[in-house]
């Protein structure tokens, strides 16, 4: 039997069962998830860490650092929306698909779009915030300017003025980090080591932009939307990108950034490093 | 851990009920069942040993502890894999979230595991419609202490020796894998004794009895001297790859047919196996996903006085798997087909190359997490007999199986499973006089996974 015949037979069978093919990585096509089925998905894949009551107190929680989310609180760390707002469905889908690098949260890319959609629907029943507040609006992301030496230089200055208190020279060794930091749940937390070339959530300069702009809910990482202009945030993003082997960073800019004095070692940041 | 496991194994390998003669010829009745007292005593001893072991070793760094997942995350129903488990396996037992390297874990958990299984079995053999043998008793216990997982981002391994109650030891798997060569999921290189990528593997079956070796992939034509089958692990090199989520996959195995005379020398009995699969998911409707696969294999087996003459065997097959109703609690239907041709030199006295065709329908239904119902309907038909004049349906097989499996306990540390299976297996014209031989087996087994 030829391949075409096999494919044709499958498609006919699928249509007979009322199905519609779906690209594996699609976002769900706007179809609402089924919270009941989502609970089944949750109990198979998530309960071990996030707990039977979705309170983040599953069996594996005590070996997990950072701790699993308590979905009853409606506080999600990684979101494309402004600090304090609930994430979009796409934000939750991204975390489920990609996981959170370096944490206990693995990537669930093998789950079908329907499974992911259903479990998100279930999670959205677990906090009253989803009914009262609803998801936030994703922050606007202007086109990325080309990373240049000037942008990296400027980004270093902005980083020193706004980020080095926690992130230090980029490795997460700032004064606040040395003293010790905790998140909103009282758990010890350390600033990201940005020289690793990969964050828990961020992979690209665009991701760094979103994180810098929106902050990380429930942690001391603030949003900078009120402090820096979009151009300035891009400069910070390009400087961070040049600190490590982030996707999209060039060896030339990494070498250039390495030759700059580390944040905290140079002159005090000029007054115009914050948005007027 | 080894000492503890040995303790439990020793408890399980107590005296067993004598079996009746299992010869294929007609015999008298030999129906031997254990007394209730012996069964109860044995069960109590097993429970007590197990309870002591678990209570004393709750800190054991078990396989699941390294990964922090429940058994049911990877298994449709233990031990059969679901799509997430398949992707985990394809990734070399890695989560790929930056914690797969042992050095990334504190403390560094070794991905060790153990299985124990034990069963009560009743067999009835009928020849030409007449019952010739009945037997029953506790039998076929086995203990597996193995390891599988990653020790670094690039290196994964699996080593699974099986120790049967009768003293036989089989290394089910033994391989090391280099993950993501050239940084790509599409190139992973495995060296060692490994299973072929097929929908069914006997080490990952609901039923741990003889029925797991009865599937179509294990078939050999009547009279063949070759012991090759695509069902069992073969020593060699595997290159496999997959996309994100393992929706498109391929594997190629270059192997030296296991068990062949002179198989100890490299490529004395070479073979090749390859398979590709594609999974399509659907946005709406009762049909949730379809996975289709095709495979081909060519293996050689030495014949002749000095076993220097290699003769070939071809296998071609396909399979379609349908996920219906639910992704996590599905009705799964799998249709498998295979056709095979052996060189006539592999069958003493053969006058032509034998051919066969086989097909199987497997249904699995998981109404809730700890419970699974399963069934199989299989037919094997010899298309051309090796020896002219042999009845065309000589050695044809019909196999039917129904079973249910329930997890009494299913968590990140261990699973405790109970299974009840009935199967009927008919092989045509193989009894003296040309009668059919039919075996009926009722199996009640328990299975512990640590």
Instruction: Encode pLDDT of B377-417 as tens digits.
Output: 999 999 999 999 999 999 999 999 999 999 998 877 788 99
Which ranges in B58-107 belong to alpha helices (H)? Answer: 63-67, 71-74, 83-90
CB A273 within 8 A of CB A249: no
Same domain, A128 and A51: yes
* Co-location of A166 and A116 in the same domain: no
Instruction: Report how far residue B312's alpha carbon sits from residue B209's, in angstroms, rounded to the nearest whole number.
Output: 31
Do A115 and A66 sit in the same domain of this protein?
A: yes
> Where a domain ends, among A84, A106, A132?
A132
**Which of A222-226, B130-134, B372-376, B426-430 has the lowest average pLDDT?**
A222-226
For residue B306, what is the domain's CATH number?
A: 2.40.160.10
Q: Would residue A19 count as lying in a domain? A: no
Q: Tell me if A5 is assigned to some domain.
A: no
Q: Are A154 and A269 members of one domain?
A: yes
Strands (E) in B228-354, as ranges, are 234-242, 248-256, 270-282, 287-303, 309-324, 331-342
Q: Which of B424, B82, B31, B87 minimizes the C-alpha distance to B249?
A: B87
pLDDT at B60: 38
User: Which is nearest to B295 in space by CA: B202, B216, B400, B223?
Assistant: B216
Q: Which residues in B lie closer than 8 A to residue A34 (C-beta atoms)? A: none
Q: Which residue on chain A is closest to B246 by alpha carbon?
A: A110
What is the band of B449 on the pLDDT scale with cuts at 50, 70, 90?
confident
My answer on whether omega of the bond before B107 falls inside 30° of 0, hence cis, is: yes
Chain A partners of B329 at a C-beta cutoff of 8 Å?
Answer: 40
- Find the residue in A nearest to B326 (Cα): A37
The reply to whether A48 and A119 lie within a common domain is: yes
Neighbouring C-alpha atoms within 13 Å toward the C-beta of B354: 34
Confidence of residue B369 (pLDDT cuts 50, 70, 90): confident
Question: CB of B71 within 8 A of CB of B78?
Answer: yes
The whole-number pLDDT of residue B305 equals: 79
- Please answer yes or no on whether B285 and A112 come within 8 Å at the CB atom: no
**Rounded distance between C-alpha atoms, residue B293 and residue B319, angstroms:** 5
Find the range with the poorest average confidence among A237-251, B25-39, B72-86, B344-358.
B25-39
C-alpha span between A242 and A235 (Å, rounded): 11
Within this chain, do residues A124 and A164 fall inside the same structural domain, yes or no?
no
What pLDDT, on a 0 to 100 scale, did the predictor assign at position B12? 38
Token reading at A174? 């700032």
Our CA-based measurement puts residue B199 at a distance from the nearest CA of chain A, in whole angstroms, of: 17
In this predicted structure, the answer to whether residue B19 has a pLDDT above a threshold of 90 is: no
- Within 8 A of A45 by CB-CB distance, chain B residues are 69-70, 73, 84
Q: Which domain holds residue B282?
A: 2-18+27-449
From chain B, pick out residues whose CB is under 8 angstroms from the CB of A49: 68
The answer to whether residue A211 sits within a structural domain is yes
- A19/B72 CB distance under 8 A: no
Q: Are A208 and A165 within one domain?
A: yes
**Contact yes or no for B224/B347 (Cβ under 8 A):** yes
Q: For B366, which residue in chain A has the nearest alpha carbon?
A: A40
Helix (H, G, I), strand (E, B), or coil: what is residue B379?
Answer: strand
Report, in this order, helix, strand and coil percent for chain B, each rounded to 5: 15, 50, 35
Q: Name which of B64, B287, B328 to mutate to probe chain A: the one with the most chain A Cβ atoms within 10 A of its Cβ.
A: B328
Distance of residue B186 Cα from the nearest chain A Cα, in angstroms = 16
List of chain A residues with pLDDT < 70: 1-30, 264-276
What is the total count of domains within chain A? 2
Q: Is residue A265 part of a domain?
A: yes
pLDDT of B246 higher than 90: yes
Residue A143 lies in a domain: no
Q: Which residue of B has its CA nearest to A109?
A: B245
Task: Please identify, among A105, A132, A159, the residue that sits at the C-terminal boundary of a domain.
Answer: A132
In a domain, A52, yes or no: yes
Note down the domain range covering A100: 32-132
Verify that A55 and A85 share a domain, yes or no: yes
Q: Return the SS3 of A8.
A: helix
- What was the pLDDT predicted at B171? 84
CA distance B44 to chain A (A): 29
Name the band, by pLDDT with cuts 50, 70 and 90, for residue B107: low
pLDDT, average across residues B360-371: 94
Global confidence as pTM: 0.84
Q: Looking at residue A51, which CATH number applies to its domain?
A: 1.10.760.10
Looking at CA atoms only, how far is residue A109 from chain B in angstroms? 5
Residue B113 has pLDDT above 60, yes or no: yes
Tokens of B197: 């990528």
Tokens matching residue B355: 């051919």
Mean pLDDT of B22-33: 34
Whole-number pLDDT of residue A30 = 61
Residue B226: the pLDDT is: 94
Number of structural domains, chain B? Answer: 1
What is chain B's mean pLDDT, rounded? 85
Please give the ipTM for the structure prediction. Answer: 0.83
The beta-carbon neighbor of B281 closest among A22, A41, A105 is A22
Interval B275-321: pLDDT, tens: 999 999 998 899 999 999 999 999 999 988 777 889 999 999 999 99
Contact A31 B245 (CB under 8 A): no
Angle at A110 (CA atoms; ends B87, A61), nearest 5 degrees: 90
Residue of B146, B124, B127 lying closest to B135 (CA atoms): B124
- B286 to chain A: closest CA residue: A17
In chain B, what residues touch A59 (CB-CB under 8 Å)?
A: 411-412
Question: In which residue are the tokens 């070796």 written?
Answer: B213
């Amino acid at each position: 039997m030829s391949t075409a015949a096999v494919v044709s037979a499958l498609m006919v069978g699928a249509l007979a069962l009322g199905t519609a093919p779906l690209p594996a990585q699609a976002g769900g096509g706007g179809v609402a998830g089924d919270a009941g089925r989502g609970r089944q998905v949750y109990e198979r894949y998530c309960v071990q860490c996030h707990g039977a009551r979705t309170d983040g107190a599953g069996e594996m929680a005590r070996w997990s650092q950072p701790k699993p989310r308590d979905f009853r609180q409606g506080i999600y760390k990684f979101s494309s929306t402004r600090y304090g707002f609930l994430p979009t469905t796409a934000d939750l889908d991204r975390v489920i698909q990609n996981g959170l690098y370096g944490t206990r949260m693995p990537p669930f890319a093998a789950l079908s779009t329907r499974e992911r959609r259903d479990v998100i629907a279930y999670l959205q029943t677990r906090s009253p915030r989803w009914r009262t507040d609803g998801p936030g609006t994703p922050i606007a992301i202007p086109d990325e300017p080309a990373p240049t030496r000037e942008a990296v230089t400027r980004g270093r200055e902005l980083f020193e003025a706004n980020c080095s208190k926690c992130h230090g020279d980029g490795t997460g060794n700032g004064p606040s980090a040395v003293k010790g930091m905790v998140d909103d749940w009282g758990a010890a937390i350390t600033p990201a080591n940005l020289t690793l070339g990969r964050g828990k959530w961020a992979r690209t300069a665009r991701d760094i932009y979103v994180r810098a702009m929106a902050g990380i809910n429930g942690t001391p990482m603030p949003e900078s939307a009120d402090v820096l202009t979009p151009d300035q945030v891009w400069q910070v993003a390009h400087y961070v990108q040049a600190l490590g082997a982030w996707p999209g960073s060039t060896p030339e800019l990494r070498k250039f950034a390495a030759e700059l004095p580390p944040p905290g070692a140079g002159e005090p940041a000029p007054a115009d490093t914050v948005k007027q | 851990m080894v000492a503890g496991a040995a303790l439990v194994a020793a408890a399980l390998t107590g005296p067993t009920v004598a079996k009746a003669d299992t010869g294929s010829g007609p015999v008298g009745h030999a129906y031997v069942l254990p007394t209730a007292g012996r069964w109860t005593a044995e069960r109590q001893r097993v429970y007590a040993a197990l309870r002591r072991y678990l209570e004393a070793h709750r800190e054991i760094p078990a396989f699941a502890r390294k990964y922090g997942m429940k058994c049911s995350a990877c298994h449709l129903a233990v031990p059969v894999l679901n799509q997430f488990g398949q992707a985990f396996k394809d990734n070399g037992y890695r989560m790929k979230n930056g914690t797969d390297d042992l050095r990334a874990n504190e403390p560094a958990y070794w991905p060790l595991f153990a299985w124990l299984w034990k069963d009560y079995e009743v067999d009835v053999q009928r020849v030409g419609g007449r019952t010739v043998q009945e037997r029953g008793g506790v039998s076929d216990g086995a203990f597996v202490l193995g390891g599988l997982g990653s020790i670094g981002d690039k290196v994964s391994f699996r080593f699974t020796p099986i120790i049967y109650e009768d003293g036989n030891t089989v290394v089910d798997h033994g391989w090391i894998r280099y993950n993501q060569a050239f940084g790509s999921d599409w190139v992973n290189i495995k060296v060692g004794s490994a299973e072929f990528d097929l929908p069914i593997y006997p080490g990952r079956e609901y039923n741990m009895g003889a029925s797991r070796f009865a599937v179509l992939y294990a078939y050999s034509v009547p009279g063949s001297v070759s012991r090759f089958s695509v069902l069992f692990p073969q020593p060699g090199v595997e290159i496999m790859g997959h996309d994100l989520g393992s929706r498109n996959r391929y594997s190629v195995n270059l192997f030296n047919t296991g068990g062949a005379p002179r198989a100890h020398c490299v490529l004395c009995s070479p073979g090749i196996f390859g398979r590709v699969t594609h999974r399509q998911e659907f946005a709406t409707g009762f049909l949730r996903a379809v996975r289709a696969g095709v495979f081909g294999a060519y293996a050689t087996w030495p014949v002749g006085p000095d076993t220097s003459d290699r003769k070939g065997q071809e296998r071609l097959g396909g399979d379609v798997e349908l996920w219906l109703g639910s992704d996590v609690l599905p009705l799964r239907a799998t249709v498998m087909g295979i056709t095979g041709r052996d060189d006539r030199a592999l069958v003493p006295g053969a006058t032509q190359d034998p051919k066969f065709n086989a097909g199987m329908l497997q249904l699995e239904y998981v109404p809730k997490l700890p419970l699974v119902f399963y069934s199989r309907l299989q037919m094997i038909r010899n298309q051309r007999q090796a020896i002219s004049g042999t009845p065309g349906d000589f050695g044809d097989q019909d196999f039917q199986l129904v079973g249910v499996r329930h997890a009494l306990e299913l968590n990140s540390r261990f699973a405790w499973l109970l299974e009840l299976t009935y199967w009927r297996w008919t092989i045509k014209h193989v009894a003296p006089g040309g009668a059919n031989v039919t075996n009926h087996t009722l199996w009640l087994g328990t299975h512990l996974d640590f």
